[in-house]
């Protein structure tokens, strides 16, 4: 709870109290001149965030215009692909990137021999309090946060209005279930295929994000408790079953083969379903399809954990930038300088706010840094005490996606009983932590 309050406090501070750095332009010009005189260096980046791939590549290109000695090659692996497995394959191939991603304490433990201390970066000094905890060992941070994100149940405002449903009244599981049944009973009238699009093929949606809401209270919202847990009780398994059953029953079928693109772009973005479980990161994709729809016609419902906290939204850091300590000093410095520029320079901040649509994880951003409706709602939820911390990056390596997530696929397909799923979850967690 202390960490949650700290996150809320710092979010509010970041938005309402902090302003851009003064004198940044002069500093940036000096750094650019120095960079231009330095020897040529290539920085290979291996990152996971598919939805901001184009914007990030554009930012890298922008940086190299003022730092002509630096070449930045960006490889993006994510979405329906297991980033962790792809990263291991990348290192095993001998083509080690200079910059890659870690998610939290489990990843730090896995990649410890490759990780450079980032305490010498400017960004580490400006990260909001508490956000480096999950990547810190013996007082040294080994990652820099991408941003802050949150998820819930994103809904189509026009469809809700036609159905006579007031989204602001939905703050419990029972009220959610009632609204879903109303939508389902009026599918033809509303012109929708189904209420939900549940992408069970994406085990990060089910095995990580969905499960997180129900495991976070078991670990008091503390990612380090999750990381150090030898066993799990699965205390809120009944609540998770309620949510999974609701989404699966009223979803476009078959859910086990439904992926992110179909969920967000093919079905929700075209008005064929009313609700999807996703986060503020889908805004850029929806905006590309229809800017007015993304800006004015979507909102986010709470993600209720029945029996614990129902008017709430899971909020956390999706990934951290990590640096390969085995690279030569010039490459390592160039890599860190690029991330410092991205988050702390005036030019980089503009990209972070306007193109990435990030909720900033660093000090020094203006009060209007968050402009999209989903990001605003996540920020408001955090400031109103409605956040649930992310703990899934403290799960055993691969457990959420490759064990629990795959069992969820079997469950929604009718091939595995729920009690067996719960037993498997407890057993595989314990085995991984021996």
Domain range summary for the chain, segments of one domain joined by +: 41-148+317-364, 150-316+387-432
Enumerate the β-bridge partners of residue 115: 324
CA 324 to chain CA centroid, Å, is 22
Matching CATH topology for 41-148+317-364 and 150-316+387-432?
Answer: yes
Q: What is the predicted pLDDT for the residue at 30?
A: 53
Q: What is the predicted pLDDT for the residue at 243?
A: 98
Q: Interior CA angle at 242 toward 235 and 417, to 5°?
A: 80
Alpha carbon distances (Å) from 53 to 60, 139, 211, 261? 11, 32, 26, 15
Backbone angles phi, psi at 397, to 5 degrees: -55, 120
Query: Averaged in consecutive runs of 10 residues, what is the pLDDT profile of the chain (434 residues)?
Result: 45 39 44 61 95 93 96 88 89 96 93 97 92 92 96 98 98 98 98 98 96 97 95 98 98 97 96 97 93 97 96 94 97 98 96 91 85 90 88 94 97 98 98 96
Q: What is the predicted pLDDT for the residue at 34?
A: 55
CA atoms within 13 A on the CB side of 342: 28
Helices (H), 282-404: 283-289, 291-296, 329-344, 346-350, 373-383
Enumerate the β-bridge partners of residue 362: 127
Burial class (CB in 10 A: 0-12, 13-18, 19+), 417: exposed
411/202 Cα distance (integer angstroms): 14
Q: What is the predicted pLDDT for the residue at 430?
A: 98
Looking at beta carbons, which pairs linking 182-186 to residues 24 or more positions away fall under 8 Å?
183/159, 183/250, 183/274, 183/275, 184/250, 186/162
C-beta of residue 332 within 8 angstroms of C-beta of residue 42:
no
User: Token pair of 216, please?
Assistant: 């976070």
Given its phi and psi angles, is residue 229 left (phi above 0), alpha (psi -120 to 50 degrees) or beta?
beta
Q: What is the DSSP annotation of 25-90?
A: HHHHHHHHHHHHHSPPEEEEEEE--GGGHHHHHHHHHHHHHH-TTEEEEEEE--TTS-HHHHHHHH
SS3 378: helix
Q: What's the predicted TM-score (pTM) here?
A: 0.83
Closest by CA to 301, choosing from 152, 111, 161, 180, is 152
Q: What CATH homologous superfamily does 150-316+387-432 map to?
A: Periplasmic binding protein-like II (3.40.190.10)
C-beta of residue 414 within 8 angstroms of C-beta of residue 394:
no
Q: Interior CA angle at 161 toward 202 and 299, to 5°?
A: 40
Q: What is the DSSP annotation of 266-277?
A: IIITTTSEEEEE
User: Token pair of 420, please?
Assistant: 């067996």
Residues 6+ apart with CB under 8 A from 26: none
- 41-148+317-364: CATH topology: D-Maltodextrin-Binding Protein; domain 2 (3.40.190)
Q: What is the predicted pLDDT for the residue at 391?
A: 95
């Amino acid at each position: 709870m202390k960490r949650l309050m700290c996150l809320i406090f710092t979010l509010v501070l970041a938005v309402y109290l902090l302003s851009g750095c003064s004198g940044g332009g002069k500093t940036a010009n000096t750094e650019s001149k120095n960079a231009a005189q330095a020897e040529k260096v290539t920085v290979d980046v291996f990152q996971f965030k598919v939805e901001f791939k184009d914007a990030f590549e554009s930012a890298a290109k922008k940086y190299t215009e003022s730092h002509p000695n630096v070449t930045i090659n960006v490889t993006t692996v994510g979405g329906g692909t297991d980033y962790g497995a792809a990263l291991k394959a990348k290192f095993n191939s001998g083509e080690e990137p200079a910059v890659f991603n870690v998610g939290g304490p489990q990843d730090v433990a896995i990649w410890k021999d490759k990780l450079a201390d980032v305490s010498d970066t400017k960004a580490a000094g400006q990260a909001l309090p508490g956000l480096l905890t999950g990547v810190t060992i013996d007082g040294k941070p080994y990652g820099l946060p991408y941003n802050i994100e949150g998820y819930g149940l994103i809904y189509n405002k026009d469809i809700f209005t036609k159905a006579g449903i007031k989204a602001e009244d939905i703050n419990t599981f029972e009220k959610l279930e009632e609204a879903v049944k109303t939508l389902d009973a009026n599918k033809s009238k509303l012109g929708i295929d189904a209420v939900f699009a549940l992408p069970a093929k994406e085990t990060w949606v089910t095995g990580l994000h969905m499960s997180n809401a129900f495991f976070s209270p078991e670990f008091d919202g503390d990612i380090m408790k999750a990381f150090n847990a030898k066993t799990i009780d699965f205390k809120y398994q009944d609540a998770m079953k309620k949510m999974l059953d609701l989404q699966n029953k009223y979803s476009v079928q078959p859910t086990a083969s439904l992926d992110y693109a179909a969920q967000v772009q093919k079905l929700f973005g075209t008005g064929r379903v009313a609700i999807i479980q996703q986060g503020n990161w889908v805004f850029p994709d929806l905006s590309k399809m229809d800017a007015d729809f993304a800006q004015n016609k979507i909102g986010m419902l709470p993600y209720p954990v029945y029996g614990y906290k129902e008017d709430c939204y899971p909020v956390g850091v999706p990934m951290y930038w990590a640096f390969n300590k085995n690279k030569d000093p010039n490459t390592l410095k160039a890599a860190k300088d690029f991330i410092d520029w991205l988050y702390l320079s005036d030019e980089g901040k503009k990209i972070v706010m306007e193109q990435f649509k990030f909720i900033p994880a660093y000090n020094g951003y203006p009060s209007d840094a968050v402009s999209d409706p989903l990001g605003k709602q996540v920020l408001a939820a955090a400031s109103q005490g409605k956040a649930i911390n992310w703990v899934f990056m403290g799960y055993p390596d691969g457990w959420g996606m490759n064990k629990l997530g795959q069992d969820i696929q079997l469950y929604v397909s009718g091939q595995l009983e729920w009690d067996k799923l719960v037993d498997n979850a407890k057993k595989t967690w314990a085995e991984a932590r021996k």
